[in-house]
Amino acid sequence: MGDYQKLFEPKKNKGNKINITKNLQENLKKVKEILSDCDDMVYREFNVGVNQNLKFATVYTEGLADKIIVNEYVLKNLMMLSRMTEPEVRNVREKVYDLIKDGVLSVTDLEEVDDLNKVVDSILTGETVLFIDKWDKAIIIASKGWPMRGISEPESDVVIRGSREGFTETLRVSTVLIRRRIRDPKLKVKQMKIGKRSKTDIAVLFIDGLVNQDILKTVVYRLRKIEIDGIMESGYVEQLIEDNWRSPFPHIQSTERPEKVAAGLYEGKVAIVIDNTPFVLIVPTTFNTLLQASEDYNERFIVASALRILRYIAVMISILLPALYIAMLSYHPGMIPTELALYIAGNRDGVPFPAAIEAFIMEGILELLREAGIRLPGPIGSTIGIVGGLVLGQAAVEAGIVSSLMVIVVAITAIATYSIPDYSFGISFRLLRFTFMAAAAFLGLYGVMIVFLITLTHLSNLKSFGIPYLAPLNYNMSIKDLKDTFIRAPLHRMKRRPEFIAKNDKNRMADSFSRDYLKKGEDNSG
């Protein structure tokens, strides 16, 4: 039994338990009072037994419970098979009870409860509840079967090379997709409910023996502290448990791809799966992790390293290029080569706005186009983004409102922003870009440097569940951890998990493994 067991112990009952009585009608009356005006509740009373002298009742929610399970494996069995019991005058009732629990109901999961509150919660989650007259317990029968979306390709995480499966809005389907990739009994799935009214199911996944216990304790503690009416999406949980809510940078990684979650669990991280959303949270996360893509590990290390370096360059372009344009034209024209300066001056001839206003206008229009493209249906949205940008840019240049060079700067900046793999991370840099532009408009390059240093200081102070945001650069930096940062080392050289996360089993590949056998001619494949 792992060290995590005490973390998931259920909270003590606060005295609001409603005991189930031995009177069937009284129990049904209490349930109907709690679920009054709920017309989607189905109540079914019937008699069973040899002489049909035992009164039973089932309650379930129409649409949430699978009618085939309820009709074929619950009601049919109770009405038909239980009548086949041998008539014994003294113990027929006890015999039927035992028969129901042990042999009649051919369903996967049964649970006896004596609390009416738990009965109501089970009914509202799609289970069927069986009441038996003169018995002070109820049987909860597993019968969930609501309509659900099938497994499809993730839309937010574009797949180039890898699995085409994406998470769905059903919690159990999402955990199954992770379990398929980690067939290890040490993969633990611990479930809890959050939300006073929604009672949303949340599963915390980790690998016992690999997980960082400090991170796990922090995650569970913060989840248990959440007190809210309902959880509509994983973003609610993300905002309520992150370290610094004032920071524009995401502290938690969200993804629709099961292989990303599996890779994080193998590193000792914790995954949070939330019902009703296809986005799974991975904690902790770092600046470097948010700039990585799953394809980095599916391609050869030379290709993956080149793409990573390109992404870091794209980040710098996305936040600095418009600001440098403003600063150079407004405050430091002497730093521009003479021929280029003359070209820019001629290009801006007739433009009524200074460079700063020009840049803010174009960046503002670009953000409007981007937002409009997201809200509109797929084909129309992409058309608005491309055609709208081309038409407005060309029209603005011909009208003399902006220069053609400004349009080029904005276009390059937009392309650089789109190269950032994580959507939430990309938004952070889009917002930060305007801060750099404002600083450049007031102080030129000095303002750009000041904001850059402030941003770097902020990133250095950020933590994600106790892990420095810039790790491993500011966390006992070692050459081993740098193998998976700006570049990606060959896969056979990445034998250890990140030291800033893994505290227990640090090896993910045998130390004895080497590719030297290829040089020695030991390949016996032929």
pLDDT bin (cut points 50, 70, 90) of residue 520 is low
- Looking at residue 95, what is its pLDDT? 60
Lowest mean pLDDT among 50-64, 85-99, 202-216: 85-99
pLDDT exceeding 90 applies to what percent of the chain? 37
d(CA 396, CA 369): 15
Least confidently predicted of 190-194, 325-329, 488-492? 488-492
CA separation (Å) from 450 to 324, 443, 444, 453, 455? 13, 9, 10, 5, 9
pLDDT in tens, 313-330: 999 999 999 999 999 988
Show me where the domains of the chain are located: 5-141, 171-292, 297-461
- pLDDT score, position 394: 76
Chain segment 283-323, per-residue pLDDT in tens: 999 999 999 888 888 888 899 899 999 999 999 999 999 99
Measured distance CA(469)–CA(249) in Å, rounded = 10
To the nearest whole percent, how much of the chain has pLDDT over 70? 86
284 preceded by a cis bond (ω within 30 of 0): yes
- Crossing angle of helices 301-330 and 404-418, in 10° steps, is 150
Report the pLDDT value the prediction gives residue 85, as an integer from 0 to 100.
54
Calculate the dihedral angle through the C-alpha atoms of 37, 41, 46, 48, rounding to the nearest 10 degrees: -140
Q: Can you give the pTM of this predicted structure?
A: 0.87
Q: What is the band of 365 on the pLDDT scale with cuts at 50, 70, 90? A: confident
pLDDT score recorded for residue 96: 61
Mean pLDDT of 496-507: 80
Mean of pLDDT over the chain: 84
Distance CA 239, CA 228 (A): 12
Q: Cα separation of 86 and 65, whole Å?
A: 32
Q: Has residue 380 got a pLDDT over 80?
A: no
- Distance separating alpha carbons of residues 385 and 204, to the nearest angstrom: 39
Are 468 and 500 in contact by the 8 Å Cβ rule? The answer is yes
Among the residues of 86-230, which ranges form H helices?
A: 92-99, 116-124, 171-181, 213-224
Q: What's the confidence (pLDDT) of residue 89?
A: 42
Question: What pLDDT band is residue 83 in, cutting at 50, 70 and 90?
Answer: low
Ranking 101-115, 152-166, 302-316 by mean pLDDT, the lowest is 101-115
